Every structure is written in C-alpha cells, then in structure tokens.
Amino acid sequence: MATNYNTVHLFDLDFISATHHTEVLEDIISYQHESNYRQKLPLVITPNADQIVKLNQPQYQVLKEKLSHASFIFPDGQPIVWFSKLIRKPLKARLTGSDLFPLLWQQAKERQHKILIVTSNELLGEKLTQDYQEALCYTPPFFNLDSPLFNQVCQDLVHHIENFKPNYVIVGIGFPKQEWLTFAIQSALVDRNISSPLFLCLGASAEFYAGMKKRAPRFLQKIGLEWLHRLWLEPKRMWKRYILGSFSLLVLLIKEFKKQIFHAN
C-alpha cells in the first residue's frame, strides 16, 4: 500500500513525518494489509519528550528496543520536532495521541469496527461504551509490573480479545505500564495462535476525548507549550517532569546531535 508520509530516524526510532494524522489514518485502519505487517509489531505509540528521555536511560533499554519495532511511531513531543529541524531531518508536524484518538474513534464508529479499551477509570469506560456500542471497556485492578496480578490482568485481556475479537485495543494506563502490558498480551496471543488486533498506547487521550481531563488551549498546543498548561494545573506532580526533566532532555539532545553528525560524516 502506498503511503502519504515518510519516516525520520531519531533516538533509534522511526518517527512518522506527516502534516496531519489523516495522512496515516487509512494505513492504521488497514494495518493488516501493509507489506511489512509481519515484520513489525501491531502497535501504535506516541512518544513525547519525557518518554524519549526515559527510553534512553539504562533501565529502559529493553523496552526501547521492543518499541522500535512498532508499526506506527508518532512524534508527540514538540521538542522532538524542533530538534529534527535543527539537524535538517525535519518532521513535518507534532502528531499527538490525543488528536489521533477522536479520528480513529470516529472511523471505527462509521465502519462498525470493534474497540477494546483498557483504562484505570471505570467512569471513563462507562462514558465511552455509552458513546459507542461496539466498544468494550476493561478496567484492571491496580497492579505492579512484577506482581502476580500483572499476569492475571494479561490473561483477562487475552480472554476478552479471544471472545470479543476487537479490531483495536486502546491501552491508556500510563507509561511504561501500558507498553509492558501490551507486549505481554501480544506474546500470549502468539503462543495461543490468536490473531492480534492493533494495539494503541495512547495514555490519557481517551480522558481528553470524554471531557474528563482538559487539554491546553489550542494556541498553546500550536506553539508547543501544552506542557506549560499541565504544569499549571498539576504543579506538584509535573514539576519534576518538566523542570528537572528539561536538563536531562538537553543532555540527550546534545548526545543525539553528535550521533547524527557522526553518521552524516
């Protein structure tokens, strides 16, 4: 299938370069017909700057290697886009998970595609299943990645996938828990010879869609300062990510800049 976009290799990930999600949407919907479908993971991720910093820390190296095989990698963070332009490998636009969710949701409703939603908020699940009758919500109990409960949640979701047969599984329980859960489910599906749906790790995107969380004003989104709005709303939770994290991001950008220059020469 011919695509309307290209990819840019940054931070060991192949980011989609497109002016809008609509240029990629049909490929997402028809992911099983892609020529490299079997070589890629049936996975959509939308890394932001904070996640890129974490993925370049030693404890996240295994996760980063796995995520590098995702079928669709969208640049959610504006600093990623700015940096790409600095090194003359420009990404066309920031493509957020929060903007992707309503587009895919609407397409699923129009085509009557089934969606399984994994969320930590039961009220959100109720809102989404009321909005679309072909959606099924699963709210897992709180679990740690190294706990027996993690395996139980994985088994529950494999059971739902086997019986409900969704086209898409949207996982919104936060990084990196949603990513590790997705890999565990995919592995279990392979072991049981069950066809895998497309997984989308979209964080809080469903909460924004349902109006349970408020996004930054559009003008802040356009100039890449959506993080400032989140810092204003949740200073105690976000100050380490955005204030201290900015120094880690700067160090990472310098390292990546040197690597890109070295490969260019």
Residue 183's pLDDT band (cuts 50, 70, 90): very high
Residue 223's pLDDT band (cuts 50, 70, 90): low
Can you give the pTM of this predicted structure?
0.89
Residues 6+ apart with CB under 8 A from 180: 63, 145
Class of domain 112-213: alpha beta
pLDDT score of 143 more than 80? yes
Q: Can you give the pLDDT at residue 59?
A: 95
Residue 77's pLDDT band (cuts 50, 70, 90): confident
pLDDT score of 151 more than 60? yes
Q: Can you give the pLDDT at residue 249?
A: 75
pLDDT score of 265 more than 60? no
Burial class for 229, CB neighbours closer than 10 Å (0-12, 13-18, 19+): middle
Nearest to 130 by CA among 142, 141, 143, 117: 117
pLDDT score of 194 more than 80? yes
- Give the whole-angstrom CA distance, residue 247 versus residue 224: 18
Residues 6+ apart with CB under 8 A from 220: 226, 228, 229
